[in-house]
Amino acid sequence: MKTTVIKTTDLPAAFLEVHPHNLYLYCKAYASGLRANTAQTKNRSAVSGGGKKPWAQKGGGRARAGSTRSPIFVGGGVAFGPSTNKNYDQKVNKKQKRLALMHAIAEMAANEKLFVADNIAVESGKTKDAMAFVNDLGQRDVLVVKEMIDDKTFLAFRNLQNAYLIEPNELNAYFAAAYHSMVIEKAVFDKLTKEA
């Protein structure tokens, strides 16, 4: 699998004119969408106990109290806990998503971290062969984009910690920004640059 380093001169001008803020907005929206939104506390109505009035309304010299489950008591409910129905989703339109990916690819090309291979395939299905391919690139970690993932190649890359194999429909700006470098099949690269 012979690879070629892609430089910014090999990219269409449109890739180099994208404002980096598009990538920031997309990554922010992607990370927000991953939030589980499971933070939860019990308010005074959800805490058990506290049915009896703790002391008489008048005559004790203390402030009136109706329940020991009020937020001011130990063992009481939480006054202003996190909202359990908050929606963290942030809207990013299609054009902005495309621009974000274009900028992420341009950044990789500028740093000589973008590689193009004619065909990415490990016919043996062995992890050591996939590891040899990744190690030859001399990169910390690699995002591998293959047009159609076959079973053997999937098995070969599956257990690698420093490589992640995806198809073009899974490629997004967040993945492109998260990985140190990218190897992409020529057919996929040509399609991406043609659409720009």
- Give me the pLDDT at residue 77, please: 94
Query: Residue 84 pLDDT > 80, yes or no?
Result: no
Q: What is the pLDDT of residues 99-154, one digit of tens each?
A: 999 999 999 999 999 999 998 999 999 999 999 999 999 899 999 999 999 999 99
- Give me the pLDDT at residue 87, please: 86
Query: What does pLDDT average to over the chain?
Result: 91
Q: Six-digit token pair at 157?
A: 């890359």
- Give me the pLDDT at residue 86, please: 83
Arithmetic mean of pLDDT, 160-184: 94
- Give me the pLDDT at residue 196, please: 63
DSSP β-bridge partners for residue 114? 182
- Give me the pLDDT at residue 2, please: 76
Arithmetic mean of pLDDT, 172-189: 94
Arithmetic mean of pLDDT, 8-16: 89
Query: Residue 1 pLDDT > 70, yes or no?
Result: no
- Sketch out the chain's domains with CATH numbers: 3-36+89-195 (3.40.1370.10), 41-81 (no CATH)
Q: Which of 118, 110, 120, 169 is nearest to 142 (CA)?
A: 120
Q: Which of 148, 155, 136 is nearest to 188 (CA)?
A: 148
Q: How far apart are CA 165 and CA 188, in angstroms?
A: 14
Q: Is 36 exposed, middle or buried (0-12, 13-18, 19+ CB in 10 A)?
A: exposed
Q: Six-digit token pair at 97?
A: 């998503």
Q: What is the pLDDT of residues 56-65, one digit of tens each?
A: 999 999 999 9
3-state SS of 57-115 is CCCCCCCCCCCCCCCCCCCCCCCCCCCCCCCCCCCCCHHHHHHHHHHHHHHHHHCCCEE
Asked if 133 and 20 count as a contact pair (C-beta separation under 8 A), the reply is no
Crossing angle of the two packed helices 94-110 and 21-33, in degrees rounded to 10: 110
Q: How far apart are CA 87 and CA 99, in angstroms?
A: 25
- Give me the pLDDT at residue 112, please: 92
pTM for the full predicted model: 0.79
Q: How far apart are CA 44 and CA 70, in angstroms?
A: 6
User: Is residue 32 within a helix (H) or strand (E), and if so which, with residue range?
Assistant: helix 21-33
Secondary structure of residue 176 in the 3-state scheme = helix
